[in-house]
Amino acid sequence: MRTSPVGTYLRFLRKKLGLSQRALAEILGAVSESQVSRHERSSSLPTILAALSYQVVFEKPVSEIFPGLYHAVEISIVERLDERARRLGDSAIDGSIREFIARRASRRVNPEDSE
Amino acid sequence: MNKSLPTTSSPQIRPIEPKDFAFIRSLAAEFSTFTVPSEYLLWFLTRFHPDYCRVIEDGNGNLKAYLLAMPTSDPPDGIAIWQIAAAAPNHPFALEYFAAHLRELADLANAKSISFTTQKDPASLRLIRSLAKQFFDCAVVERHPVPAGQKECEFWLSIQPIQK
């Protein structure tokens, strides 16, 4: 039976370019070979410096290089805002947050106005 | 790191074993549009399609997600995904991991397409479309509504070999 570390888009990108983890680390400079391995296995999160380094090397935005993480962050924030939006009348909610939620709701209704 | 995000340690992907059946059935029961697979059906799928049926577990052996898929004859040389499910909040990560697995599987099996059904939920479809573009360099094509009354549609993507 074959058990293996999960594959990620980061690993896919590296292999697509024919790079070893060591070679990628050498190109990145700010990231060691073992850190590349951990990032590919989702065993640790990249620092902002590492994430931006990946973006430069692969010429793709960080949100694309780490799709699972990006969407998990997105879902987390959307759920938090939706929860706040359900109790907008609650005085415990900061006024600036209420304004942010209102602006966001307006952009959703008129998406062409937001770009 | 946001505390509400999963901190999965060294996740692994492996074939499904009988000891995983209870987890799969329990997780499937959480989704209103899912059919809860019987133990016999799970045995059948994992007995004859072990490469297509996988679970993801963390470094402590806790199960996080599962994939049930199979090869197809229509279209020929295709892969059909029956169910992908993940315990919240692991869903986006699980989709990425399974997309990577399906890419490897498609290359090994020389598969030409992947079919699946889902509801037209914008957030999920956005992630699926971006993963299809990233791992398979193709668009997700909407095909037919599923005539089973679950408001699901059949989607399809045509796989290209990896261009190095």
Q: Which of A115 and A73 is assigned the larger pLDDT? A: A73
Please check whether residue B10 touches A, CB under 8 A: yes
The SS3 call for residue B89 is coil
Identify which of A43, A64, A68 has the shortest CB distance to residue B92.
Answer: A68
Q: B164: pLDDT confidence band, cut at 50, 70 and 90?
A: low
Residue-wise pLDDT tens digits, A5-64: 888 999 999 999 999 999 999 999 989 999 999 999 888 899 999 999 999 999 999 999
- Taking residue B35's Cβ as centre, other Cβ atoms within 10 Å add up to 13
Q: Is A76 at the interface with chain B, CB within 8 A?
A: yes
pTM exceeds 0.95: no
Rounded Cα distance, B159 and B136, in Å: 6
Q: Dump strand ranges (E) for chain B.
A: 12-15, 53-57, 63-73, 76-86, 113-119, 141-145, 152-158
Please write the tens of the pLDDT for every residue from A67-100: 989 988 988 898 888 888 888 777 788 888 888 8
A7: nearest CB among B9, B91, B104: B104
Q: Is the pLDDT of residue B138 over 70?
A: yes
Banded pLDDT at B30 (limits 50, 70, 90): very high
Spans of all domains in chain B: 12-158
Q: Which of A8, A56, A63, A5 is nearest to A30 (CA)?
A: A56
Distance from CA of A68 to the nearest CA of B (A): 4
pLDDT grade, residue B36 (50/70/90)? Answer: very high
Alpha-carbon Rg for chain B in angstroms: 15
CA distance B142 to B88: 27
Q: Do B11 and A6 count as a contact with CB atoms less than 8 A apart?
A: yes
Task: Determine the Cα–Cα distance for residues B80 and B102; give it in Å rounded to an integer.
Answer: 11
What is the model's pLDDT at position A1?
47
The confidence score (pLDDT) of residue B142 equals 92
- A6-20, A55-69, B5-19, B88-102 — which is least confidently predicted? B5-19
Q: How far is B97 from chain A (nearest CA, A)?
A: 5
- A5 vs B: CB within 8 A: yes
Q: What is the mean pLDDT of residues B3-30?
A: 84
> pLDDT tens, B42-78?
999 999 999 999 999 988 889 999 999 999 998 889 9
Q: Which of A90, A114, A89 is nearest to A104 (CA)?
A: A114
Q: What are phi and psi of B69, to 5 degrees?
A: -145, 175
B131 touches chain A (CB under 8 A): yes
| CATH 3.30.70.1400 holds for B12-158 | no
Element (H, E) at A4: strand A4-5
Q: Can you tell me the ipTM of this complex?
A: 0.78
- The count of CB pairs under 8 A between chains A and B is 96
A43/B10 Cβ within 8 A:
yes
Q: Enumerate residues 61 to 120 of chain B having a beta carbon within 8 A of any beta carbon in chain A.
A: 89, 91-97, 99-101, 103-104
Contact B154, B146 (CB under 8 A): yes
Residue A82, chain B, CB below 8 Å: the answer is no
Domains with residue ranges and CATH for chain A: 9-62 (1.10.260.40), 69-110 (no CATH)
Nearest to B89 among A7, A16, A72 (CB): A72
Pairing type for strands B76-86 and B141-145 reads unpaired
